[in-house]
Structure 1
């Protein structure tokens, strides 16, 4: 888009008007929108002012700025309503903490895994079998009892013994 002879002068006039009325535009938004949205709304006004055709004259820069601010606010309201913004949850880090994956943590995890495997090897054969069938094969106690030819109570005791010994090994 090519600017007319007065284009840059008008652009500077609009830029000066925006800068001059920036505080008033912020107050306009503070009265009508959440504080967290004010900077975004002011930026939207600035973007609209920046992308408008420079060869269109503005008789009243202040009035034009506030009409643009009103339009930005109305557009945001329609967009929020359409997208059901009020029912969205934020994805702030304190709501969803990220687990630190440092080299020390990885090494610690590998060491605990090695201790767990060694402790599983040290379990009595029947206890290890009951534990593996339940935790890794996802079999029910009754199915394990039938498979191993023991009572459900004995299966419960084997699994509890395995859990206790494994927990002690990695503690």
Structure 2
């Protein structure tokens, strides 16, 4: 919460007036803005009051304060509108799930990897070659067929055979 001490100088009516009406300014903002923004808005009014120190007296300090508060609120609304702030979504922890890299999970991943490698080794040579060329070398079926000297249909059958075998091995 904003804490302002009234000046000991009796001629400093701006600070004294602001402190005297601080509760009313807060209530003004609480009715018109999200509660999370109230302290910032009150602080913006205090900054404007402080920046105004030109020595000229203010006849109606309460009216001046509320006019300043209204201007601060209007400026905040214009700024939020021009930045499309209502369309923004705050980033929270639920938007960035932390991956659990516990020792047990790492060990489980290594065991699955070992099972997968063993299952790849168990594949017939042609199926293993077609699978490796497609999944690890990222070759298209037509390129694999040309490389291996077989038809595209045969490549498809070898890869499907490999996938079925690997799925059964890790299940």
Q: Normalising by structure 2, what TM-score? A: 0.72
Q: What is the match of residue 44 of structure 1?
A: 40
| Partner-residue secondary structure (3-state), 1:53 | helix
1:169 positional shift: 2.2
String of CA shifts for 1:132-159, please: whole Å, max 9, x gaps: 1111222111111111111211111111
SS of 2:99 mapped into structure 1: coil
Q: Deviation per CA, 1:112-133: give whole Å up to 9, x if none.
A: 2222222222222211110111
Scaled by the length of structure 1, the TM-score of the pair is 0.72
Is there any run of 5+ residues in structure 2 with no aligned partner, and where? 1-6
Any runs of at least 4 consecutive aligned residues in structure 1 with deviations exceeding 6 A, and if so which? none
Q: Mark the runs of 5 or more structure 1 residues left unpaired by the alignment.
A: 30-36
Q: Secondary structure at the match of 2:97?
A: coil
Pair 1:27 & 2:31 matched: yes
What CA deviation, in whole Å up to 9, does each residue of 1:92-125 have, x standing for no partner? 555x351432303333323222222222222222
Q: Work out whether 1:14 is the aligned partner of 2:32.
A: no
Q: Quick one: distance in 1 between partners of 2:40 and 2:59? A: 21
**Match of residue 80 from structure 1:** 80
Given the superposition, is the C-alpha separation of residues 53 and 158 from structure 1 closer, same or farther in structure 2, using an over 3 Å criterion? same
Matches for 1:105-116 after TM superposition, within 5 Å: 105-116=105-116
For residues 61 and 107 of structure 1, do their structure 2 counterparts lie closer, same or farther at Cα, with a shift above 3 Å needed? farther
The CA RMSD measured in Å over matched residues stands at 3.1
Greater CA drift, 73-82 or 156-165: 73-82
Deviates more, 1:6-15 or 1:122-131: 6-15
